[in-house]
Structure 1
Amino acid sequence: MGNDTTDFTDLPYTTEFDYGYSTPCMGTEEKHFAAKLLPPLYSLVVIFGLTGNMLVILILVKYKRLKSMTDIYLLNLAISDLLFVFSLPFWAYYAVHDWIFGEALCRILSGVYLLGFYSGIFFIILLTLDRYLAIVHAVFALKARTVAYGTLTSIVTWVVAVLASVPGIVFHKTQKESSRYTCSAHYPSDSTINWKYSFILKMNILGLIVPMLIMIFSYSQILKTLLRSKCEKKQKAVRLIFLIMIFYFIFWTPFHISSFLHTFQGSLFTPNCDIKGQLEKAIQVTETISMIHCCINPVIYAFVGEKFRKYLHAFFRKHVAAHLCRKCPSLYQEKLERVSSTFTASTAEHDISTGL
């Protein structure tokens, strides 16, 4: 990128935009807007996202003991959300100050952001397909929905997510622009536009179009099967995964739309500094909203997952109430044993529940 390149956003995906020989927009207002908006919101996301997803991992590993394919996918989804959380303090600082963390962390954290993005949606897709198999192809699911297959597909999914994230690691670097250091994408000068377009299109296709098509197909077949069977247990089985999918689209679709408009603005309409500024603010707001999504899944589990609520209650009674009420250990111990007995190895083998 040449000297006519202006970086308007201090965001994790930090794409640089080159406006050729035209006078670049200053983007000062957008910088101030980001400096006020991002740090406090990112801080809240870190607190709630870290706490919620760590509790999900604790419940799945300690109490559920990863006895079903659904448990494996939910565990990996929580890990994907944590990848977002761990990088947010750096981006929150960068929104206000220069990038002071060096080029290595610039590349690593940019890759972590993309890895969390791709792996998260991939595991939501796997959870949707898991529900599809369990409900629509129940006989086949008895053989296919095993912990071994769940582990294998999870490993393959992480490999694919890493490969999809490689361009973010390769092309992100630090650079001094004016009086400050930035961490952003710098593509080869002879194919900058093509790289920028392919980067955003890949995010839009893998993060929005493909999962939406899979969701429409899977849940249309699931609903047909449920309407024929009228099985209340199966209906409850779909609810959790359906809500996870819906909330993903609610929180991520605005960012996909705004990033598409921002990248292709020169092809869609005649941009000026006002329009560019509004699109910059739109990306800042929608990407912050998308970050909040990593806190949402634990909340869904708490409201929809009956087993999750019981396990969580048992955990707090045993480990929190134990310190607050040392004279009543029998109460929380009894509750824990009762909850643990509700999920046995035999039921795990034919589990069609939500997994939580």
Structure 2
Amino acid sequence: MDVSDPEDSSYEDYYNSEGLEEIGICKKTHVKDFSRVFLPVLYSITCVLSIIANLTLLTLFIKYKTLRKVLPLHMVISDILFTLSLPFWAVYASSEWIFGDQCCKAVSLVYMVSLYSSNLFVASQSLERFMDLACVVSTPSIFKSPKRNTIMCSLVWLFSVLGAAVHVSFVENQKFHDQYICTYHFDDKVGWKIYTRFQMNILGFVVPFLVLLFCSVRLPCVAEVRSTFKVFRHEAGFTVIFFLLWFPYSVVIFLYALQDLHVFLACTTNIHFDFAIHVTECIAFMHVFANPVLYISLNKKVWRRLRNACKTPREYLLEESNSSSVMLSQRGAIELKAVQQYQVHDLSVSAERPNNFLPELL
């Protein structure tokens, strides 16, 4: 679902759009034909991959209590909620909105809340790690785990709900050209239209990205020397992937805002924006399975648990026996080294005593 409204949205504008060119008509039937094929396929693929990745990580959290952390768990919940909205948008893109007005508002609310909260939870995890390493012992208890994490989760959900409420207040189910559409309806409130676009960019991209960028730069400076590379790899991984997924979508939304301000008026430019919003939106939606995959691959404890869970009992026993053999050989080497050190020490002590090798006279 893009952030357009009926006057210039990717739904009504598929048919016509007035005021974009001097001729007054800007037909976009080919854009709609493209979206009817492209969007359902991409939404379905994203939905399946997200279910697999998020349920895998959620299962690990449920099975192993030591892996369970508040912020990653809420990130998974947020991504699952976002995934639940994708089948509705897939059906909508293929035909029309068939679920009614109340469902239109409910799905839009879940979609926007989970979109904001997912990105903010990704940033909150980096902020949590930075505070754990940077905060001194004298830090007030409110900034320490787990109270701090509870406050952070509450704030993320609060900001996400408040941000989504602005969008949902303008969303409604309408009939247009004998088809029902679920999209924004701003009437003449152009200011609110521009506000929702900038809010999407600021709360959905700029704020999380700046937090991720700050933590990826500062965390290696406050981490221990032996864990500097591991910390940098973890933070840089999330920062780079987040930027690659969300930056193109944010640029297109910004261009749409400039179009609302009549910076761009050409029909061909508007058509290019419509194609761009579909492609970049699908790229951004990949975050729902990219987040859990990144968390599993960059977290050694989680990856080790998942790898062991995927092994057959025979493979697990063989690995355990091999690891036991390695441990025994290492222990034997340590004991042999200790005996050798003891013998060397005993010889050195004996050498200090003259005639030590002769039997003592009684």
TM-score, normalization by structure 1: 0.78
In structure 1, C-alpha distance between the alignment counterparts of 2:48 and 2:7, rounded to whole Å: 33
String of CA shifts for 1:10-35, please: whole Å, max 9, x gaps. Answer: 59xxxx98859973422211111111
Task: Check whether the contact 1:107–1:172 (CA below 8 A) recurs between aligned residues.
Answer: yes
* Residue of structure 1 equivalent to 2:38: 37
Query: Separation in 1 of the partners of 2:106 and 2:55?
Result: 22
Say which SS state the counterpart of residue 264 (structure 1) adopts: helix
Aligned to 1:116: 114
Q: Deviations over 1:94-148 (max 9, x none)?
A: 1110110111111111111111111012112211211211232254679544234
Alignment correspondent of 1:51: 52
| Equivalent of residue 250 in structure 1, options 244, 255, 265 | 244
**Whole-angstrom CA distance in 1 between matches of 2:6 and 2:222:** 55
Residue 205 in 1 paired to residue 202 in 2?
yes
Change (3 A) 1:145 1:271: same
Alignment of 1:1-356 (within 5 A): 6=7, 8-9=9-10, 19=19, 23-65=24-66, 71-137=69-135, 139=137, 144-187=143-186, 189-190=187-188, 192-226=189-223, 229-230=224-225, 232-267=226-261, 269-317=263-311, 321=312, 331=317
Q: Give the letter aligned to residue 98 of structure 1.
A: E
Larger RCO (CA under 8 A, 6+ residues apart)? 1
**How far off is 1:224 after superposition?**
2.9
Kept in 1, the 8 Å contact 2:19–2:265? The answer is: no
Report how far residue 291 of structure 1 moved.
Answer: 0.7
Equivalent AA in structure 2 for residue 63 of structure 1: Y
Mind listing any 5+ residue stretches in structure 2 that lack a counterpart? 325-362
Secondary structure of the residue aligned to 2:265 is coil
State how far apart, in whole Å, the 1-side matches of 2:184 and 2:298 are. 40
What is the identity, as a one-letter code, of the residue corresponding to 2:193? K
Where do 5+ consecutive residues of structure 1 fail to align? 339-356
Q: For residue 25 of structure 1, give the secondary structure of its aligned residue in structure 2.
A: coil
Amino acid paired to 2:114:
G
Name the CA distance, whole Å, in 2 between partners of 1:76 and 1:238: 23
Residues 71 and 125 of structure 2 are in contact (CA less than 8 Å); yes or no, is this contact kept in structure 1?
yes
CA distance in 2, matches of 1:310, 1:165: 37
Shift of 1:284: 0.5
Shift of 1:238: 4.5
The structure-2 alpha-carbon separation of the partners of 1:5 and 1:286, relative to structure 1 and needing over 3 Å to count, comes to closer
Partner Cα distance (1:215, 1:65) in 2: 25
TM-score (norm 2): 0.77
What is the aligned length?
313
> Which amino acid in 2 is paired with 1:131?
R
Contact in 1 for aligned 2:78/2:117 (Cα 8 Å): yes
Give the greater-gyration-radius structure (CA): 2
